[in-house]
Amino acid sequence: MKDDDVSQECKNLISSLPTSDKDYTGKKLYNYQGSWFYPNTIQAILNFQKHFRARDSDIILASLPKSGTTWLKALVFAVVHRNKYAPNLVSHPLLSDNPHNLELPSPRIFATHVPFQKLPESLIDSPCKVVYVCRNIKDVLDMINEYIKGAYFCGPIEEQVLSYWKESLVNSNLVLFMRYEEMIEKPVAQVMRLADFLGCSFSEEEKQSSNLEANKIGTSTCGIAHHAFFRKGGVGDWKNHLTDEMARKINEMVEKKLEGSGLKFD
């Protein structure tokens, strides 16, 4: 969706919102409910909030960009559909297609970067499942900067993370809070935990990898090259890109924002 495709309702809303200076592409961002978005993203959020009708079996994957969403989507698809493809693994869709193209069939798997409060009420009030993957803030900032060069941002990082963290504490049946670093360190245990939350527990190890040829070529249904969803995926790579002073300032900012929440980053 282009910025000039927004509805009149959205234009009226945008005219009342605080705006930023132009980014490096010459575009402005607007502050909607505490987060900064381009006009087309605000339109998408309005459409999502107004028209999305959750099904009881839906699975919503939430994260900041470059936090392991594509990997998580592959894991979720493999877990919930494992019985369907177990008899003939050579025909498994993940061997030939990118996880972002595999939202259907039911259970539907959707991915979003919006804070918990911006999810549609039909979703929050339903029995569907929300899985949030959290990653070290410094690694996220490093990845976002490299991937989009500051052209896009999903709002205050701490507020976005905290919205799902707090909800997971009061409503563990709805929201599962996962850490990228724990998924790297103990993948089997975390996949088991994921399967238990989704109501499809299993005891047999099931290997899954995102380093497939299908993810290196072609484009997704939204026109983004498959390879753009992946990077090295290492833990602590921020050390190769951020100075000690930058890391110190980020740590101070994050500690202040997370104070009293019980959530900590290594």
pLDDT tens per residue across span 2-45: 556 799 999 999 999 999 877 777 888 898 887 778 898 899 88
Chain mean position to CA 186: 20
Please give the share of the chain, as a percent, with pLDDT higher than 90. Answer: 22
Residue 176's DSSP bridge partners are 131
CA distance 168 to 182: 17
Q: Which residue has the higher pLDDT, 89 or 158?
A: 89
Burial of 88 (0-12, 13-18, 19+ CB in 10 A): exposed
pLDDT for 243 beyond 70 = yes
Ramachandran category for residue 243: left, alpha or beta (phi over 0 → left; psi -120 to 50 → alpha): beta
User: For all residues of the chain together, what is the average pLDDT?
Assistant: 78
Q: What is the pLDDT of residue 226?
A: 44
Please give the C-alpha separations between residue 114 and each of 48, 49, 137, in angstroms, as whole numbers: 11, 11, 16
pLDDT for 229 beyond 50 = no
pLDDT tens per residue across span 80-124: 988 887 767 777 888 877 777 777 778 999 988 888 988 888 888
In this prediction the pTM is 0.73
How many H-runs (helices) and E-runs (strands) does the chain carry? 10, 6
> Among 113, 226, 227, 241, which one carries the catalytic annotation?
113
Return the top range by mean pLDDT from 137-141, 207-211, 217-221. 137-141
CA distance 38 to 45: 11
113 is known as an active-site residue: yes
